[in-house]
């Protein structure tokens, strides 16, 4: 981080699927590698910790009261992240020790919602190792709704990072105009989009958001292959039998505020790529379009954002 620039690392990796501890170790290794490469921020894919629920659409996931689906869901809950239990402590410690910020996609087992439902949560850890925000995906996409709960607006927040203000969204909620607008209004000029892994998702919207917002946009995806299904996962043989050779092919990329590629989408391989971003380009491109500044009309259209953390009950003990 020097003057008007920062360096961002894109960690396109596969999880040790449905194994929280082993996947955490892999993430920490990439955090250290990114920091040693001079990165100020490292980004990981959606639901990477401990992995995306690829089984749902391949094993009749909508069948009601299925013993198979119950068994897989229970394992998923057991392997998911409980933040207040300390499941992210190793990641936070690595961030602090190496002075690098982290965005990581998690499956959050939320204690404040009873501890038995899962939220697709995008967690920001700052360079001091402190968790700055936990954004629970507002609306799970299609079959994801069979295993994930709907989130809230509490995590629609931005964070200072050198000359930049960084924020982010999970996967298809990047298509939602109003959450994007909320982040823009909070000063975002570096947008992070995380995905389970598919070039078809990232190659158009990454450049579109960059052009709309006149911001840098970093899209980071995961990988998932049939070979990543471990023998110790419940029903492993059945899952392998129904899996595609490649279920998530990556597609991580970076677009500039001009809409031009800085890093084009990369597929099929695990990688760690680092790119330098110059904030001056944001200032230059905002000269003709600033969608929440000089090119906005708040007297005509305004957005109301509820950032309270939703809860089922408020307990008044005193």
Nearest to 23, CA basis, from 53, 49, 54: 49
Whether 204 is in a domain gets the answer yes
Whether 145 is in a domain gets the answer yes
Please tell me the predicted confidence (pLDDT) of residue 1: 73
Out of 26, 92, 144, 171, which one is annotated catalytic?
Answer: 171
Out of 26, 46, 108, 173, which one is annotated catalytic?
Answer: 46
- pTM here is 0.97
Whether 168 is in a domain gets the answer yes
Out of 26, 120, 137, 266, which one is annotated catalytic?
Answer: 137
Give residues with Cβ within 8 angstroms of 231, minimum separation 6: none
Whether 57 is in a domain gets the answer yes
Q: Tokens 């396109």 — which residue?
A: 12
Whether 210 is in a domain gets the answer yes
Whether 34 is in a domain gets the answer yes
Please tell me the predicted confidence (pLDDT) of residue 127: 98
**Interhelix angle 177-185/199-213, nearest 10 degrees:** 50
φ, ψ of residue 298 to 5 degrees: the values are: -65, -15
Please tell me the predicted confidence (pLDDT) of residue 2: 74
Bond preceding residue 50 cis, omega within 30 of 0: yes
Question: Is the CA virtual torsion 90, 92, 93, 95 positive or negative?
Answer: positive
The domain that holds 181 is classified in CATH as: 3.60.110.10
Whether 306 is in a domain gets the answer no
Assess whether 137 carries a catalytic annotation: yes
The pLDDT averaged over each successive group of 10 residues in the chain (318 residues) is 92 98 98 98 98 96 96 98 98 98 98 96 98 98 97 98 98 97 98 96 97 98 97 96 96 98 97 98 98 97 96 88
Can you say how many angstroms the Cα of residue 192 is from the centroid of all Cα atoms in its chain? 8
Q: Which domain holds residue 25?
A: 5-285
Total domain count, the chain: 1
Q: In what order do the strands lie in the sheet with 5-12?
A: 131-136, 118-125, 101-109, 41-43, 5-12, 271-278
Residue pair 242/266 in contact by the 8 Å Cβ criterion: no
Secondary structure (3-state) at 5: strand
User: Half-sphere exposure of residue 21, counting CA atoms within 13 Å on the CB side?
Assistant: 1
Residue pair 149/113 in contact by the 8 Å Cβ criterion: yes
Please tell me the predicted confidence (pLDDT) of residue 100: 98
Whether 266 is in a domain gets the answer yes
Structure tokens at 179: 């959450």
């Amino acid at each position: 981080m020097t003057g008007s620039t920062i360096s961002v690392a894109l960690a396109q990796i596969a999880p040790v699927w449905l194994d929280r501890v082993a996947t955490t170790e892999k993430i920490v290794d990439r955090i250290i590698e990114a920091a040693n490469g001079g990165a100020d921020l490292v980004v990981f894919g959606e639901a990477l910790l401990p992995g995306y629920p690829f089984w749902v659409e391949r094993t009749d996931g909508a069948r009601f009261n299925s013993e198979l689906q119950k068994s897989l869901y229970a394992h998923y809950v057991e392997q998911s992240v409980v933040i207040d239990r300390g499941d992210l402590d190793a990641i936070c410690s690595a961030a602090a020790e190496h002075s690098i910020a982290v965005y990581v996609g998690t499956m959050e087992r939320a204690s404040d919602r009873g501890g038995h439902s899962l939220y697709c949560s995008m967690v920001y850890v700052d360079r001091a190792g402190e968790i700055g925000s936990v954004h629970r995906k507002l609306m799970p996409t299609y079959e994801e709704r069979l295993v994930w709960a709907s989130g809230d607006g509490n995590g629609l927040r931005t964070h200072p990072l050198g000359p930049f203000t960084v924020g982010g969204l999970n996967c298809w909620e990047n298509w939602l105009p109003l959450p994007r607008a909320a982040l823009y209004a909070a000063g975002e000029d570096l947008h992070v989009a995380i995905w389970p892994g598919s070039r078809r998702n990232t190659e158009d919207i990454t450049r579109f958001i960059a052009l709309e917002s006149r911001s840098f946009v970093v899209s980071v995806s995961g990988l998932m292959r049939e070979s990543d299904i471990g023998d110790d996962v419940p029903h492993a043989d059945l899952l392998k039998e129904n899996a595609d050779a490649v279920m998530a092919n990556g597609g991580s990329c970076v677009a500039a505020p001009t809409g031009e590629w800085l890093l084009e989408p990369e597929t099929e391989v695990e990688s760690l790529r680092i790119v330098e971003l110059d904030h001056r380009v944001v200032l230059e491109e905002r000269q003709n379009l600033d969608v929440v500044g000089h090119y906005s009309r708040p007297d005509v259209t305004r957005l109301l954002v509820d950032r309270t953390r939703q809860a089922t009950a408020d307990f008044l003990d005193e």
